[in-house]
Amino acid sequence: MRALVVSKLGPDYEGVSVQEIDRPVPGPGEVLVRIRAAALNFPDLLQTRGEYQHKPPLPFVAGMEAAGDVVQAGKGASFQPSDRVVGSARPEAVGGSGGPGAFCEYAIMQSPRRIPERFSYAEAAAFGTAYLTAYVSLVSRGQMKPGEWVLVHGAAGGVGLAAVELAKVLGARVIAAGSSDEKLKFVRAAYTPDAVVNVTAGFKDRVKEITGGAGADIIYDPVGGDVFDESVRCIAFGGRLLTIGYASGRIPALPVNMALIKGMSVIGVRAGEYGRRYPEEGRRNLDAIWSMAADGLLTPHIHAELPLDRWREAYDMLGLRKVVGKVVITP
């Protein structure tokens, strides 16, 4: 089968290529899935550089999450051939590579979910990571309450749009923040936040104005850098600043006197690790987001669908901040 293999780490994908590798065979309780769509996430880009916290041994097959059709079920598996499923690939199963292995034609899945009837393969593949990140951030870690002001940075990205939509569904008042007027125009039209803010020339005064001087109760930050620094200046007393990632490239530092003055909390969020540490809570979180998806309350936005041979174009779209929502690769 064909797969996107990372053989060497570096800044310009020099060690990344489409290669022929062996098709895996499912073991007991596992299923072999023909991949119809696999979503590209920012960690996928970071992993090609060796800059993500999880560093698979080389070589590895790239990709975190995928959707497709069951073609073979191992003994005891609760799925049948032709079932539409979504999930993550078993790391060691894809060509023995040791990587996440979603950007390939076939993958082993151990605990997939059935795709809601209303979802396409692309929507199913693009849903899990983004919306689980948003749910763990806002609900499990942020303890968000209806009526609270939630400032979402990177609102046009995959995890940002998910947070905007989820916060609105759960009754929060949402400020969508980003650096592109064009992208924010789309977010406003499609997801109806209570306000939008362009952060390019600063945003703390505008956030305070929108919130009647109080500041945001929750700040959702997958950007880091200068955005984090200024967020500290417009958080409400007792607010929660959720640090999710550092797409800006700079990991910020907090003057702890600001935490004292504001009575604020800085809360780190790793949604996948949260589920591994607290499996029962992790299952409840997944059940919650997929239930909302099946009920039509949550739907990811697909920016583009590209075949496997155009993987570099997909990665460049994400790296150059051209994406609204998610890019999906269709092996």
196: CB partners within 8 A, 6+ apart? 155, 175, 176, 177, 178, 184, 187, 188
Residue 100 has pLDDT above 90, yes or no: no
- Contact at 8 Å (CB) between 108 and 145? no
Bridge partners, 218 (sequence order): 150, 240
Residue 257: phi, psi to the nearest 5?
Answer: -65, -25
What is the reported pTM? 0.93
Residue 27 has pLDDT above 60, yes or no: yes
Residues 42-89: pLDDT tens digits? 889 988 998 887 788 888 999 989 999 999 999 999 999 999 999 988
- Give the model's pLDDT for residue 110: 86
- Give the model's pLDDT for residue 89: 80
3-state helix, strand, coil in the chain (%, to 5): 35, 25, 40
Residue 183: phi, psi to the nearest 5?
Answer: -65, -40
Residues 191-238: pLDDT tens digits? 999 999 999 999 999 999 999 999 999 999 999 999 999 999 999 999
Residues 237-262: pLDDT tens digits? 999 999 999 989 899 999 999 999 99
Residue 306 has pLDDT above 90, yes or no: yes
Q: Which of the four CATH numbers 3.40.190.10, 3.65.10.10, 3.30.565.10, 3.40.50.720 does domain 128-272 have? A: 3.40.50.720
Q: Which of the four CATH numbers 3.90.180.10, 3.90.1150.10, 1.20.1600.10, 1.10.3720.10 does domain 2-115+301-330 have? A: 3.90.180.10
In the chain, CATH 3.40.50.720 covers: 128-272
Read off the pLDDT of each residue in 22-26 and give the average, rounded to a whole number. 89
- Contact at 8 Å (CB) between 53 and 61? no
- Give the model's pLDDT for residue 87: 94
Read off the pLDDT of each residue in 3-7 and give the average, rounded to a whole number. 93
User: Buried b / exposed e across 310-327, counting CB within 10 Å, b at 16+?
Assistant: ebeebbebbeeeebbbbb
Query: What does DSSP say about strands 265-268 and 235-243: parallel, antiparallel, or unpaired?
Result: parallel
Residue 97 has pLDDT above 80, yes or no: no
Q: Which residue has the tokens 């992208």?
A: 183
Q: Side-chain half-sphere of 217: how many Cα atoms within 13 Å? A: 14
Q: Side-chain half-sphere of 128: how many Cα atoms within 13 Å? A: 28
- Give the model's pLDDT for residue 98: 54
In the chain, CATH 3.90.180.10 covers: 2-115+301-330
Task: Give the whole-angstrom CA distance, residue 87 versus residue 109.
Answer: 7
Largest Cα span, the chain = 61
